Amino acid sequence: MALSRDAYRALGDIVGPGYISEDPAVMDSYAYQWLAETVRPNHSKFMPRPEAALLPASTKEVQAIVRTCNKYKIKFKAYSTGWYFYGAPFSEGVIQMDMRRMDHIVEIDEKNMVAVIEPYVIAGVLQAEVMKRGLNCTVTGAGASCSTLVGATCYHGSGGTSIYTGELRENLLGAEWVMPNGEILRTGSVGSGCGWFCAEGPGPSMRGIVRGALGARGGLGVYTKCAVKLSPWPGPTEFPIEGTVPAYRSPLPKNFRAYTVAFKDWGSLFEAYYRLYDNEICYYAHRQWTMLGADLGPAFWMLYQDPTKSLDDIQEFVRKREVKELTEEMRRSFQLVLVGMSQRDIAYKEKVLDRILEETGGWKVKKWLEPEMEQFSLLYLLRLGRKNLNFVYTGGWVGNFMQSGTPDFVKKYEPIAEDATEEYQEKGLLVDCGSDSMMGCVGSIGGGGQCGLEQFGFYDVADKASTAAAVEWMKHCIQEEARRNIPPGKEGMYLAVGKTHAELQRDLAKQPLTHTWQRKIKQALDPNNLGDRMYPTLDEK
């Protein structure tokens, strides 16, 4: 459904002729999305093609675009750095707003530890700038190349340092929101002209409409600015970098220590989680190395340290005696970083960690205590700049579970990972990296108290049988979760993208109150229904 010439000219007048396109090749570059093949007909890698793409440069231009869309009844979807297929249109007749020109750090308030940012400010850039001022920001699990604003306003926003720096959803201190009706709303103190320091009020707050556990994921307007809380960084103003591609290292000062700690069983591992919450010693705590599988991951991380090796050499590494021993030693493990505000502080935290390990039967994995391995860990974990490795095996992966809760709740997903994964790996449909490829935050909110585990499944995007198996695996996990009376996680959200309207309505009817109220909110803020189903609503009967 091509745009009318009047509509296209009106949109072009807003952004200028160099920042709008309807070229089919350009549109297909937006439609080509990770995970599209899991929900689209015949496992196509393309989401619906947008009718046009625009690159606004300011809130004023975004507002003008939205008002024009209301005039011509054109649906729109904003797209920032992109990660999932959520940022793409879900139907025909949608224009894509590409936010890459809005990439400014508007303000860094060093004294009050606040940063005001636009949509295309990635975590890596923000982190580099605030570290110059002795501060740090939360880098989400999506990595340093992804938008901080999107994590704060539209998604969950948790990362390895969340146990110390908090989740981005916690750290949101106000937002500038172009609503679907074309009006601008500023939440929190900035909405009263008092600056970007408080997310709520004064008086009634719109934060609960902006977001809950998740935001609207682009389905209810466009966020053009937000403020996020920052945290102390007692390290150098720039990461010192050593080593050779790909395994760069960072020799941080002695008040930084990185460990991989391991345990004899799951019960001991999760007991250590609780004790880390109680003692509040972690700057970073995450299950990271196991994302590539407990059977294959250790071999990969050792291979990765050698610049003369490639993935083709992994079988050689798997057969090495020392790698076999490391694989068994790391089978139930996670990573943490201790940071001392002084030498006495780091000494205290190390003693607390040693006591926790003694009482839970855990240990520090020796290989990762070697100076070069510790320095690699520090840079990798604190920067999280290698998310390309999620795709390293076969070019495709999908994550199941990641329902946050207490460790006692989250550990219920571990048997499902084993029971539901092995058959697909044994048949060669998913990469046979081990049934435990669960990664996730040890503490996904500030101070800890809850965690999450995301089971990775690696499929071949060029093989339709493997792609179909990934879809079947997600459905199998949902069945196993239902059988054990625990809720589905991310796999349910992924599969929902491919559901028909009737199927989605059937699912939403299980929580009628929530989705009825969301329909009323949408009717008030989006009277022309220009948003999409990422803001789910239950139809009026």
SS3 track for 111-175: CCCEEEECCCCEHHHHHHHHHCCCEECCCCCCCCCCEHHHHHHCCCCCCCCHHHHCCHHHHEEEE
pLDDT at 1 over 80: no
CB 224 within 8 A of CB 59: yes
H or E segment to which residue 472 belongs = helix 464-483
**CB neighbour burial string for 367-392, b if at least 16 within 10 angstroms, e if fewer:** bbeeeebbbbbbbbbbbbbbeebbeb
Handedness of CA 48, 53, 57, 61 (dihedral sign): negative
What's the CA gap between 207 and 175, in Å, rounded?
9
**Structure confidence at residue 428 as a pLDDT band (50, 70, 90):** very high
The dihedral formed by the CA atoms of 504, 508, 514 and 517, expressed in degrees to the nearest 10: 50
Mean pLDDT of the 272-281 span:
98
What's the CA gap between 201 and 190, in Å, rounded?
9
Give the tens place of pLDDT for each residue, 373-400: 999 999 999 999 998 999 999 999 999 9
More confident residue, 449 or 366: 366
Which residues neighbour 500 within 8 Å (Cβ) at sequence distance 6 or greater? none
What's the CA gap between 470 and 393, in Å, rounded?
14
Strand partners, 440: 287
Looking at residue 53, what is its pLDDT? Answer: 98
pLDDT at 201 over 80: no
**Structure confidence at residue 2 as a pLDDT band (50, 70, 90):** confident
> Can you say how many angstroms the Cα of residue 50 is from the centroid of all Cα atoms in its chain?
24
Looking at residue 393, what is its pLDDT? Answer: 97
Percent above pLDDT 70 for the chain: 100
Strand partners, 185: 177
Looking at residue 208, what is its pLDDT? Answer: 85
Measuring CA to CA, how many Å separate 307 from each of 243, 259, 301, 367, 369?
Answer: 10, 23, 12, 19, 21
What's the CA gap between 273 and 409, in Å, rounded?
12
Give the tens place of pLDDT for each residue, 207-248: 888 888 889 989 999 999 999 999 999 999 999 999 999 999
Q: DSSP assignment, residue 215? A: B
CA proximity to 282, closest of 381, 190, 197: 381
CB 15 within 8 A of CB 64: no
The set of long-range contacts for 204-210, using a CB threshold of 8 Å and a minimum separation of 24, is 207/172, 209/521, 210/153, 210/172, 210/175, 210/177
pLDDT at 445 over 80: yes
Looking at residue 82, what is its pLDDT? Answer: 85
Give the tens place of pLDDT for each residue, 476-506: 999 999 999 999 999 999 999 999 999 999 9
**Structure confidence at residue 83 as a pLDDT band (50, 70, 90):** confident
CA proximity to 179, closest of 121, 226, 218, 227: 218
- The pairing of strands 333-339 and 454-460 is unpaired
CB-CB neighbours of 263 under 10 Å:
20
What's the CA gap between 134 and 398, in Å, rounded?
36
